[in-house]
Structure 1
Amino acid sequence: MAREECKALLDALNRTTARHHQLALTVGGSADSRALRRELRRTRREAQELAAAARARLTAPLRDRGLGGEERAELERLWAAFSGCLDLLEADMRRALALGSAFPLQAPRRPLVRTGVAGGPGGPGGSARSLRRLAERDGDGDGDADGDDLRELEREVLQLSDMIRDMEMKVNVPRWTVQARQTAGAELLSAASSAGPASVQERSGPCDPSKALAAAVFSAVLLAAVALAVCVAKLS
């Protein structure tokens, strides 16, 4: 029962980590927005909750020295997959932190392009400043939203790094010692072997002697034409 629960948790963590990876790649691009940052924050928190639950489920049985060989081997495979998910999550969180710092969403307080227009509250310059203040106010209601999100993300990155180091200290399962249950790409090879011959036979069908004879005659005529063209070229 514990092994099945660990598999279910790892499946959910794998899907959430993959979603977080796709969202992290979008930060700083043309689709970046405040809604995307919120979804990225929600997804990484969900991934951290799943990681904490999977860690609690896997740590206790792996530290049990009386665990059977086959069951221990299966849990070690799950632990290796779990560690890979955490490594990807940490790398994507660091990427999101770097991109979020380089591409803040909050509008700058000073314009990057100076037009030379200035004036009082009723002039053109005052209108531009009013529009800028409205944009900043309608953005989030918090002038330092980007800074708060980045500081929170930085703390979460450090917490995840500490959790990974703590895991390695409590459970000593080197990844290179984990035995896979099947060779790499075995599922793809089995699917191709089961579907390949039948599909080829269906496409090709039985051999037709008349078609084979026609193909042989056509090949002979083509070779004769090529030889004739070569002789003409040499004589000329």
Structure 2
Amino acid sequence: MIKEECKALLDALSRVTACYRHMVLTIGGTSDSQNLREELKKTRQKAQELAVANRNKLTTVLKDKTVSKEDKAEFERLWVIFSTCLEILEIDMRRALELGHEFPLNVPKKHLIQTGMSGGTSGVAARAMSVQNMKYEAERNIDVVDLKDLENEINQVGEMMYEMEMKVNVPQWTVEAKQDPGAELKSTISVGASSIGMISVEENKSFCDISKVLAGIIFSAVLIIAIVLAVCVVKLS
């Protein structure tokens, strides 16, 4: 039960972190807007809430001495994935801070990057927040005011990562993966290769069938010619 809860929390954190990265990449572009800045704030705060919940669950389990060896190995694997998600979140928060300073919305002389991309990010934010429609309530100067909050939250995430290392020591190189690196990609390639192999076999088979038919026709023609010549020789003699 606890394992499933940890996996569900980790899955939610991964999804929200991915959505946050997608939105961070649009800062300063043609899709940038007041709504985007508010979406970024809500999404990163949601990610931090999930991170705290993940940390509390996994820390409690990994400190429990009664957990079996197999279960502990699985929780350590989840811990490594969680740590990676947290590192990615911190990197994207720092990127959002830098881009936020570079591209304030209410500065007329500061042109946005013409990336060629268009469209809003409300759908991505709604998926991250698990809501049907986003509600926007931020003030007009959120692009400036929120930068200070973002800087403080970056420090909080950094402190969380440091505390995690102090409380639970799980070196990443000691955790064994369930499958080899790139196993999913290899399986896809092998399936594709087998499909190509089947196609080539079928093509070879059909080619062989055509060759047999042609050989039969040629043999029959030669046989008929030989019979005609034999009849002619008999009549002439």
- TM-score scaled by structure 1? 0.71
Query: 1:212 & 1:94 partners in 2: Cα distance?
Result: 67
Query: 2:142 & 2:59 partners in 1: Cα distance?
Result: 37
Higher relative contact order (CA 8 A, sep 6+): 2
Indicate conservation of the 8 Å contact 1:106/1:145, yes or no.
no
Which amino acid counterpart does residue 155 of structure 1 have in structure 2?
A: N
The alpha carbon displacement at 1:42 in A equals: 1.1
Unaligned runs of 5+ in 1: 113-139, 214-236
Cα pair distance change 1:57/1:107, threshold 3 Å: same
The alpha carbon displacement at 1:190 in A equals: 2.7
Q: Secondary structure at the match of 2:177?
A: coil
Q: Tell which deviates more after alignment, 191-200 or 173-182.
A: 191-200
Query: 1:141 & 1:87 partners in 2: Cα distance?
Result: 30
Which amino acid counterpart does residue 154 of structure 1 have in structure 2?
A: E
For the pair 1:162 / 2:151, whether they are aligned, the reply is no
1:55-78: per-residue Cα shift (whole Å, max 9, x none)?
Answer: 111000101233211101000000
Q: Name the % identity.
A: 49
Indicate conservation of the 8 Å contact 2:28/2:99, yes or no.
yes
Q: Name the count of aligned residue pairs.
A: 183
Unaligned runs of 5+ in 2: 111-137, 213-237
Q: Aligned-pair RMSD on alpha carbons?
A: 2.2
1:29-64: per-residue Cα shift (whole Å, max 9, x none)?
Answer: 221111111111111111111111111110001012
For the pair 1:177 / 2:177, whether they are aligned, the reply is no
- Structure 2 partner of 1:22: 22
Q: Secondary structure at the match of 1:31?
A: coil
Q: Secondary structure at the match of 1:26?
A: coil
For the pair 1:63 / 2:72, whether they are aligned, the reply is no
Query: 2:209 & 2:67 partners in 1: Cα distance?
Result: 69
Cα pair distance change 1:166/1:212, threshold 3 Å: farther
Query: 1:101 & 1:107 partners in 2: Cα distance?
Result: 11
Which amino acid counterpart does residue 105 of structure 2 have in structure 1?
A: L
User: Where do 1:114-129 residues align within 5 Å?
Assistant: none
- TM-score scaled by structure 2? 0.71
